[in-house]
Amino acid sequence: MKHIKTLKTPLGDIDIYLDSSAQSGDEFYARMGRLFANKVIVQELGEPFTDSPDHTWAVAIHDCCVVGVGSLQDLGKKKGWLTHAFVCRLYRRYGVHRALFRARLEHARAIGLEQVQGLAVPATVRTFEQEGFSLAGKRGSFPLYELLMVQGVPLL
């Protein structure tokens, strides 16, 4: 795991890391496995988490426990997909989701992605818009947001 930043909150320090099963193997699944079949997460997101060697995960850890995650899937051809964002209820409203979002976006820039897309739920629309994403359409009832970049710089 690569440490990205420490988020100072009233609950204590929350460390943000980048991780992947391709990089960390069994350690990744030991850390993240319980989240992949968690009924609360499946109910809230409407689907379970999935993983592949193309996913990089931003992981929020507080007192050795994973309290939030979000993934960036590298789709090839300089395109990426933001997916699987979840923050435990106790840790919401402390900037954890935003820190995970930004960590994934910074990683997208670092690996040279030129297009990043993601579906928003009502609670995340503001984050997509404040981070420079534009509404690109809809998938079912979910707004589809997109950010186009050249050399890591968003196109307006």
List, in order of start, the domains of the chain with CATH numbers: 2-112 (3.40.630.30)
**pLDDT truncated to tens, each residue of the chain (156 aa)?**
999 999 999 999 999 999 999 999 999 999 998 888 889 898 888 888 889 999 999 999 999 999 999 999 999 999 999 998 999 999 999 999 999 999 999 999 999 999 999 999 888 999 999 999 999 999 988 999 999 988 666 665
Contact 70, 82 (CB under 8 A): yes
The conformational region for residue 121 under phi > 0 = left, psi -120 to 50 = alpha, else beta, is beta
Answering whether pTM is above 0.75, one says yes
- Collapsed DSSP state (helix, strand, coil) of residue 44: helix
Calpha distance 149→109 (Å, rounded): 8
Give me Rg for the CA atoms of the chain.
Answer: 15
